Amino acid sequence: MKRAFGGVLINETGRVLLRKPTGLHKTRVWTFAKGKPLDGETAEQTALREVFEETGVRAKIISRLAFPPEEEIGDDFFLMLPVEETGRFDTETQAIVWATRAEAEELISMTEDAGRRMRDLKILRFAFETVGAIRGQLPPSIGSDLGL
């Protein structure tokens, strides 16, 4: 089974991008863009493509999210910064939203499937922890706005 690759985008104001899948796919209400690679695609290429297709946002990768072995989630995610918002996304997505960390936690908590809910909350936590760890490499506005 192929691994899936996705992205967690955090913008210059410290908001995180979530997508609402069409038809509430697998009981997820709000989640992150991710998908499986096409033939010959790297993990990074897959994550960037999936983010663009499912959110309409072109992004750049800042870092891979590294999960400790005891908290491994089975898929790989990358911390990303938005480069361009096109305002158009594919039919797999019903809506997108830029949310504060607290708002994102609340939206993700609407997911009915406990395993998926916990996974996405873990991804969110590790994304913000990664921002804190690499804050000096990011634009100054991101680190200060995140309160890390």
Q: CATH no. for residue 63?
A: 3.90.79.10
Q: 132: domain range?
A: 5-146
pLDDT of residue 146: 45
pLDDT of residue 136: 64
Specify the pTM: 0.86
pLDDT of residue 73: 80
pLDDT of residue 7: 97
Q: The tokens 């983010």 sit on which residue?
A: 51
Per-residue pLDDT of the chain (148 residues; tens, 9 = 90+): 678 999 999 998 899 999 999 886 556 689 999 999 999 999 999 999 999 999 999 999 999 998 877 777 888 999 999 999 999 999 899 999 999 999 999 999 999 889 889 999 999 999 998 887 776 665 555 544 444 3
pLDDT of residue 2: 74
pLDDT of residue 144: 47
Question: 129 to each of 85, 87, 110, how far by Cα in Å?
Answer: 25, 28, 22
Q: How many domains does the chain have?
A: 1
pLDDT of residue 85: 93
d(C-alpha 129, C-alpha 58), whole Å: 23
pLDDT of residue 140: 57
Record the tokens describing residue 15, joined without a space: 């908001």
The answer for residues whose C-beta is within 8 angstroms of residue 12's C-beta and 6 or more apart is: 81, 139, 141, 142, 145
